[in-house]
Chain A
Amino acid sequence: MEGLYAFCVGILTACGIFLTMRGRSFSVVVGLTLLSYAVNLFLFASGRLKLDAAAVLGQSENYSDPLPQALVLTAIVIGFAMTAFAVILAMRARADLGNDHVDGRLPSSIETRKSGKQGGQR
């Protein structure tokens, strides 16, 4: 179980990092979402994985650590709000800047601008 769990978290993290490094804001937002899923699963596992163990004392022989579950709840809420903000910001940037590249301009237009005029922009 641990191996499979670790594998899933690893795949999610890898996909998240790959997508965050893309140039378009849509894939970056999806990447951030995947990364936050990976984080949530990882935090959950920091209290060790146990089967048939409620986070309540005295109900069963085994019990699991309740603290990571509380931490995951907080992390989910914060991650969700931040993703919503990132989506709105990406839409705003698309409207303000006229394209969905994270740098605010497409790589091709940077090259033409460089050959056109040097410096002078802030």
Chain B
Amino acid sequence: MQHLAILPIILPLLTGALLLLPPFSTTLARQRAIGVASFALQIVVAAILLMQTHNEGTTQYILGNWQAPFGIVLVADSMSTLLVLLCVFLAFCAHLYGCAGDDKEGAYFHPLFMFQVMGINGAFLTGDIFNLFVFFEILLIASYALLIHGGGKQKTQATVHYVILNLVGSSIFLFGLGILYGTLGTLNMADMAAKVGSLEGSNAILAKIGASMLLVVFGLKAALLPLHFWLPRTYASASAPVAAIFAIMTKVGIYSIFRVHIMIFGDDAGELANIAQTWLWPLSLLTICIGTVGIFAAPTLKLLVANMVVLSAGSLLVCAALQSEVATGAALYYLLHSTVVTAGLFLLADIIAKQRGKAEDRFVRSKALKQPIFLGIGFAVGAVAIIGMPPLSGFVGKILILQAAQSTAEMIWVWPIMLISSLAALITLSRAGTTLFWRHSGGVQDDAPEASYVQLLAVFLLMAASPLLALFGGSVVEIAQTAAHTLHDPNLSVLPLLPSIQSGGVQ
């Protein structure tokens, strides 16, 4: 299908707009039905798109039929379509969970959720760096409203920090874009990659400043060390379905680092080759360390999972710092795994918090849980996966990352830090699980709400993804490696997108 590439953006946009109109805006039941149906459709579309790009290679969707370096394009390659599929699957589960009652707490939950997904999908698919900024703003403004959804002091406070930080981030993004446009004269990412090698002298220094500013912005989104302080409290205070969909927001920052600092400012960038690596190396390793400290210090399950997000962001950024095809493939696999598992744990933490009465999800003795068996199994699966123990997907992901560190110098830094952080996760999660499930005062809290089947289904879907990722690990890794190969090879990721350079390009 010719128009398949734009559907992941158009579908949530239209659904979101539809949900604001009278027949649907009045009743929650209709909004829920339309929302679930729309996400199911989006999963189908994303799956077809992934298969199509896998079979036919990178495709380019040219909006308005303006020739590539001048017009706006969407690029569907293996990496972006894989992430789009991940995003809509995650959104489906989180939305399903929200349908069980969290959507009643404030207005416009469903339309905002749609716009959020539209922004994330757009950021993955766009091939134009200014449009990356526009989609960032779309996903951000939806996330601002979703974060404060439900109200309360904690959420307001967390939202103030989040909004101010991200507004400053947007300004820096625009400064960086302005500098890059001023020096390169183009905003098409493939065209930038083709032109950046020919920069020299003062222009190269200016472009370096621009690229570093972009690294700051993406680092802010991805929770790179000095810029991650907003994350734990923001994620811990968000309502459960929102925290689950936020699990992919840090990954948007990481994806942008891969796109911009590996594809554009990668090995072939002449004077500007690999400028991000000098910064990413120490900072990503320190991010893992600070995430490890964070999981030890976390007093609640939600904060623990939020710090796990920081930890996994650090592991992914290490792969970006390794700057090799194998590392990028490993990062993609680990990204899929860590996103679904952390999202599942956020949902689980919410159910647990609701059933423990006043103790919520704090690690203190309290009344017993109402559904200990299902929640216990879910927690155990999530914990085993996120720690990285066999036989689940976390083990495969961590092995792939460890294998990607090839030279001795890389191994000396990556292996101990990754392995010690896994040990720390093992200790803290066992402690958390023991306290939450076993250290109780006997009686069950009678008025505690029992999780509905819809909520349990959402958690089950997310948790089941981890064993499936391990079971079908071979084919998933193969797709991830293809995506990494496409990203690193300019003959596949840059030249086919620029028909003016090489005639007979893909359309």
**Contact code string B147-173 (vs A, CB < 8 Å = 1, else 0):** 010011110110111011001101100
Interchain CA distance A85-B168 in the complex, whole Å:
14
Task: For B175, give its contact among A42, A85, A90, A122 (CB under 8 Å).
Answer: A42
The reply to whether A104 and B160 contact each other, CB–CB distance below 8 Å, is yes
Task: Decide if B389 is an interface residue (CB 8 Å cutoff).
Answer: no
Q: A32: nearest residue on chain B (CB-CB)?
A: B167
Cβ-defined contact, A89 with B134, below 8 A = no
User: Nearest-CB distance from A89 to chain B (Å)?
Assistant: 6
Q: Is there an interface contact between A93 and B181, defined as CB atoms closer than 8 Å?
A: no
Q: Please determine whether B157 and A74 come into contact, CB atoms closer than 8 angstroms.
A: no
Query: Which of chain A's residues have a CB closer than 8 A to the CB of B161?
Result: 102
Residues A39 and B171 in contact, CB atoms below 8 Å apart:
yes
CA distance A46 to B154 in the complex (A): 41
B372 at the interface (CB under 8 A from A): no
Q: Given A89-B144, A104-B157 in contact, is the A82-B299 Cβ separation under 8 Å? A: no
The answer to whether the Cβ of A57 comes within 8 Å of any Cβ in the partner chain is no
> Which residues of B are found within 8 Å of A35, using beta-carbon distances?
167-168, 171
Question: In the complex the two chains form, what is the Cα distance from A104 to B153 in whole Å?
Answer: 9
A79 to B141, CA, bound (A): 11
Cβ–Cβ contact A92 & B156, under 8 A? yes
A97 proximity list for chain B (CB < 8 A): 153, 156-157
Specify which chain B residues have a CB less than 8 angstroms from the CB of A85 in the assembled complex.
141, 144, 163
Q: Could you say which of A71, A82, A96, A122 contacts B167, with CB atoms under 8 Å apart?
A: A82
Query: Which of chain A's residues have a CB closer than 8 A to the CB of B494?
Result: none
- Other-chain contact of B177, A28, A43, A47, A103 (Cβ < 8 Å): A43
Mask of A53-91 contacts with B, CB within 8 angstroms, 1/0: 000000000000001100100110011011001100110
Complex-state Cα separation, A84 to B300, whole angstroms? 34
Residues A32 and B168 in contact, CB atoms below 8 Å apart: yes
Q: Report chain B residues within 8 Å CB of A39.
A: 171, 174-175, 178
Q: How many residues of B contact A (CB 8 A)?
A: 33
In the complex, the answer to whether B178 meets A43 with C-beta atoms within 8 Å is yes
Chain B residues near A47 (CB-CB < 8 A): 181-182
Among B178, B179, B299, B303, which residue has the most Cβ atoms of chain A within 10 A?
Answer: B178
CB distance from A94 to the nearest CB of B (A): 10
Say whether B92 faces chain A, with CB atoms less than 8 Å apart: no
Task: Specify which chain A residues have a CB less than 8 angstroms from the CB of B157 in the assembled complex.
Answer: 93, 97, 103-104
Pick the residue among B130, B141, B177, B303 that contacts A81 (CB under 8 A). B141
Q: How far apart are the CA atoms of A36 and B157 in the complex, in Å?
A: 23
| Residues of chain B contacted by A16 (CB below 8 angstroms) | 171
Contacting pair B174 A20 (CB below 8 A): no
Q: Is the CB of A89 within 8 A of B159?
A: yes
With a CB–CB cut-off of 8 A, which chain A residues contact B182?
Answer: 45-48
Q: Are A32 and B164 in contact (CB under 8 A)?
A: yes
A20 contacts B137, CB within 8 Å?
no
CB distance from A65 to the nearest CB of B (A): 8
CA distance A48 to B178 in the complex (A): 11
CA A102 to CA B178, docked complex, whole Å: 30
| Neighbouring A residues of B148 by C-beta, 8 Å | 89, 92
CB distance from B207 to the nearest CB of A (A): 12
- B45 to chain A minimum Cβ distance, whole angstroms, is 27
Give A68 to B171 CA distance when docked, in angstroms. Answer: 15
User: For the complex, what is the distance from the CA of A28 to the CA of B160, rounded to whole Å?
Assistant: 11
- Is A43 in contact with B141, judged by CB distance below 8 angstroms? no
Which residues of A lie under 8 Å from residue B179 when comparing CB positions? Answer: 46
Mask, B59-93, CB within 8 Å of A = 1, is 00000000000000000000000000000000000
Assess the B181–A78 pair: CB atoms within 8 A.
no
Which chain A residue shows the least CB distance to B236? A122
**Residues in chain A near residue B174, CB distance under 8 A:** 39, 42-43, 75
Query: Is the beta-carbon distance between B153 and A96 smaller than 8 angstroms?
Result: yes
Contact of B156 among A32, A38, A82, A104 (CB under 8 A): A104
Whether the Cβ atoms of B181 and A67 lie closer than 8 Å is: yes
Besides A47-B182, A68-B178, A96-B156, 19 more A-B contacts (Cβ < 8 Å) are A20-B168, A32-B167, A32-B168, A35-B168, A36-B171, A42-B174, A43-B177, A43-B178, A71-B177, A75-B174, A78-B134, A82-B167, A82-B170, A85-B163, A89-B156, A90-B160, A93-B157, A96-B153, A102-B164
**CB-CB nearest 10 A-B residue pairs:** A46-B182, A104-B157, A46-B178, A96-B156, A39-B174, A43-B178, A35-B171, A46-B181, A39-B171, A78-B137
A-B contact pairs, 17 of them (CB 8 A): A32-B168, A35-B171, A39-B171, A45-B178, A46-B179, A46-B182, A47-B182, A67-B187, A78-B170, A82-B141, A89-B144, A96-B152, A96-B156, A97-B157, A104-B153, A122-B154, A122-B300
- Name B's A-contacting residues (CB within 8 A): 130, 134, 137, 141, 144, 148, 151-154, 156-157, 159-161, 163-164, 167-168, 170-171, 174-175, 177-179, 181-182, 187, 236, 299-300, 303
